[in-house]
Structure 1
């Protein structure tokens, strides 16, 4: 009996290279803004104290907090919270989106040179600083109002009242007050905070002690917060003083610098560093921990067949 001639040959093994790996979908553009809003809401009392230290004659963080509680109660620690929300959902939302897009434009991928990360941060900071400037002014004014004498207060009800009254009483150009130092600070912030977080996270993952989990995210964000506070302090002080000014000609950057140098010396550029670090450090940690968890939530939702 002859052997069959039409026996089918066994299927050839499929090469791994022939299997197309599905490209991961980008995360929603608003994740960074939501993460920043959650973090800023928790750390608002520290941010409030930092602004009042920079804009008033208060000398110490603890004394400033006690003064706020004494004059306005515990609720006073959350003065201007609506301004914080407006600022985060404009400036922070924009900066995270622009940072991711900037990394794509200049090719700042996982194996790219480290210098591309701060370049992408600078690009994002310039865009976000301009778009978020009105929200920044509203936040600073709402937070700093009760540190002023009653006759000099703006007495805004909430963020939208502040926005409308600024346009009506001071003109639309008031929304650009302090834009130069604000954009400069935004560039420094994103180049130092976002870029350094990506850098530290990548370096930690190269070691055998860390994997992509909450411990790695915490360590990288802690380092990023310290770097960002130190780099941004001078521009942050100038921004707060200029945005709180209300008289004609009082918002001149050079005038503010000259007056501050004459009365306080170069050390004024780092006034409020400790409360700034105390506020930015937990904020940075909370932002990135929240952002990473939101990304995990988006990944989980996609595996279940729906998208957030």
Structure 2
């Protein structure tokens, strides 16, 4: 027997448990995002959609005005849908991400992927989760943009009413009105998960002050997750503004998604693409750092990995 065939196999073939772990851990990640990030998200959406000619002078004014006029609970408007939706979205996104990685690894968990392969897995996960994200986000945003809590100015009674309205206007697939916009925005997950791998490798090569030891894997997950989220929003934000403007238009949508870029540029100039950027950028680090930390930690538990 040759030396090559006598050596023990170094592959670690993926099991059903490995393939399902990402979906379960994604539910925990989605719940974390809701708790930490929804108030920031409400401010971001309102600033984006109101634009430069709206009722707010900026994100701080939006926050103060919302709390003063509608109460602190208004920061969680539309949260009932993300409570279910973000859990479902992260289950699909992170579960599919894990499986796209395994696909690129050929089923061998021990095989190291390149930065580009991690980015491509992120792109695939982004396109996959867009099918779930599109209805969740259009319902959430339309509720967030409803300022009146009662009276004739209150257009929607709740998330089910939003869904019914969309289907009356656009037909049975009305909940997926804006899917092309969501697919375009989620394509930027290429940068999210590609940069996450870059930052993770860089952080693992550092040494902690005083101890000289490398940072723990949990600290790497948290910091790399926050940095990757900031990278994602830096590239993605103009597209996110256009997507959200398009999906919150009065029905039927007067401006097609492909023309909304030109509309924003013509009416507000280049700065229109960055309305609400500050709360979004601030929100992205703690929200996604916490969510990715929870996801990676839960993944280790579900896979029975006790090394970290």
CA distance in 1, matches of 2:225, 2:87: 21
Query: Which of 208, 219, 237 is 2:223 aligned to?
Result: 219
The 3-state SS of whatever aligns with 1:145 is coil
CA distance in 2, matches of 1:180, 1:28: 26
- What is the match of residue 121 of structure 2? 120
**Structure 2 counterparts to residues 203-218 of structure 1, below 5 A:** 203-209=202-208, 210-218=214-222
CA distance in 2, matches of 1:144, 1:75: 14
Work out whether residues 41 and 84 of structure 1, in 8 Å CA contact, stay in contact via their aligned partners in 2: no
Report the RMSD for the aligned CA atoms in angstroms.
Answer: 2.9
Normalising by the residue count of structure 1, what TM-score does the alignment of the two structures yield? 0.82
Query: Which of 42, 46, 56 is 1:52 aligned to?
Result: 46
**Structure 2 counterparts to residues 287-306 of structure 1, below 5 A:** 287-298=291-302
CA distance in 1, matches of 2:104, 2:303: 26
Runs of 4+ in 1 over 6 A off after TM superposition: 18-24, 147-150
CA distance in 1, matches of 2:48, 2:150: 16
Unmatched tracts of structure 1, length 5 or more:
1-14, 304-308
- The answer to whether structure 1 residue 265 and structure 2 residue 265 are counterparts is no
- Shifted more, 273-282 versus 206-215: the winner is 206-215
Unmatched tracts of structure 2, length 5 or more:
1-5, 209-213
CA change 1:123–1:28 in 2 (3 A) is: closer
Query: Which of 230, 235, 256 is 1:231 aligned to?
Result: 235
CA change 1:22–1:263 in 2 (3 A) is: closer
CA change 1:170–1:186 in 2 (3 A) is: same
Greater relative contact order (CA < 8 Å, ≥ 6 in sequence): 2
Kindly state the Cα deviation for residue 184 of structure 1 after the two structures are TM-superposed.
Answer: 1.0
- Shifted more, 159-168 versus 31-40: the winner is 159-168
- What is the match of residue 177 of structure 2? 177
Kindly state the Cα deviation for residue 44 of structure 1 after the two structures are TM-superposed.
Answer: 1.0
Work out whether residues 99 and 123 of structure 1, in 8 Å CA contact, stay in contact via their aligned partners in 2: yes
CA distance in 2, matches of 1:18, 1:185: 42
Q: Deviations over 1:66-109 (max 9, x none)?
A: 11112111111111111222431332221111111111222397
**Structure 2 counterparts to residues 3-14 of structure 1, below 5 A:** none
- The answer to whether structure 1 residue 133 and structure 2 residue 134 are counterparts is yes
Kindly state the Cα deviation for residue 22 of structure 1 after the two structures are TM-superposed.
Answer: 8.6
- What is the match of residue 201 of structure 1? 200
Work out whether residues 33 and 96 of structure 1, in 8 Å CA contact, stay in contact via their aligned partners in 2: no
Normalising by the residue count of structure 2, what TM-score does the alignment of the two structures yield? 0.82
**Structure 2 counterparts to residues 145-160 of structure 1, below 5 A:** 145-146=146-147, 153-157=154-158, 159-160=159-160
- What is the match of residue 256 of structure 2? 252
The 3-state SS of whatever aligns with 1:172 is coil
| Higher radius of gyration, 1 or 2 | 1
Kindly state the Cα deviation for residue 289 of structure 1 after the two structures are TM-superposed.
Answer: 1.5
Q: Deviations over 1:218-243 (max 9, x none)?
A: 22122112101101101110111111
